[in-house]
């Protein structure tokens, strides 16, 4: 299979909805086929989520592009990602930001993502195993936070780790369906923008869902 041609066709498809050319260019540089299990490789550039094991998925490319665009990255930011998963979203963030700190609660996924990201030569990514408290306080504050799992509400722990003026993109709702939200931190008052319905696996931890 010609993965490069399939990737170009996907990017052309995404360009109908995604207007940030930097996001599209980043996605065109990241080989999604390396982040999916071997049996799913020929489906890597279909615009749909794919199973990656451990009851987790690699998100639909359109949703990844939409969430990344909503972070409004310009190149020098420090970004926190909750839910490393396959590492595909992590790689796209690393193409667009100065530093990426990513946390994953499944040790096997963290290890496999780290291996692929190192193989691709990324040097601006830290992969950590998730702790009880959401996020990664040790490196806060962050200019942007992206949460790739659904939460029942916007967790205060994550807002505390977001810099003033920073943006968080997070799915909020029930365990079964959520609304994608962009929160911009403005001192004591935060701005909320709703971006449409979505469906993610559950965010596990304090201020989120129990396992």
Largest Cα–Cα separation, the chain: 52
Distances (CA, A) of 80 to 22, 114, 136, 157: 19, 15, 8, 13
**Interior angle at CA 96, CA 90 and CA 99, nearest 5:** 65
* H or E element that contains 184: strand 178-186
From the centroid of its chain, how far is CA 186?
A: 23
Residues 6+ apart with CB under 8 A from 173: 150, 152, 179
Which value, to the nearest 10 degrees, does the dihedral of the CA atoms of residues 174, 177, 181, 187 take?
0
| Token duo for residue 137 | 């306080």
Measured from the Cβ of residue 73, the count of other Cβ atoms closer than 10 Å reads 24
202 is catalytic: no
| Measured distance CA(151)–CA(154) in Å, rounded | 7
Considering the candidates 28, 59, 174, 202, report the single residue annotated as catalytic: 59
Residues with a catalytic annotation lie at: 59
């Amino acid at each position: 299979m010609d993965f490069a041609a399939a990737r170009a066709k996907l990017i052309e498809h995404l360009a109908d909805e995604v207007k940030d050319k930097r996001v599209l260019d980043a996605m065109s540089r990241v080989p999604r086929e390396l982040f999916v299990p071997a049996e799913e490789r020929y489906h890597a550039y279909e615009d749909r989520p794919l199973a990656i094991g451990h009851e987790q998925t690699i998100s639909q490319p359109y949703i990844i592009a939409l969430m990344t665009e909503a972070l409004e990255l310009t190149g020098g930011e420090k970004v926190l990602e909750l839910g490393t998963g396959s590492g595909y979203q992590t790689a796209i963030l690393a193409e667009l930001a100065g530093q990426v700190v990513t946390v994953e609660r499944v040790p096997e996924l963290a290890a496999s993502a780290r291996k692929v990201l190192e193989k691709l030569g990324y040097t601006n990514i830290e992969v950590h195993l998730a702790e009880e408290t959401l996020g990664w306080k040790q490196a806060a504050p962050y200019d942007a936070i992206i949460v790739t799992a659904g939460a029942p509400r916007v967790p205060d722990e994550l807002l505390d780790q977001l810099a003033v003026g920073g943006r968080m993109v997070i799915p909020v709702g029930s365990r079964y369906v959520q609304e994608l939200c962009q929160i911009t931190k403005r001192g004591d008052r935060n701005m909320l923008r709703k971006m449409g319905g979505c469906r993610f696996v559950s965010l596990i931890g304090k201020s989120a869902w129990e396992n």
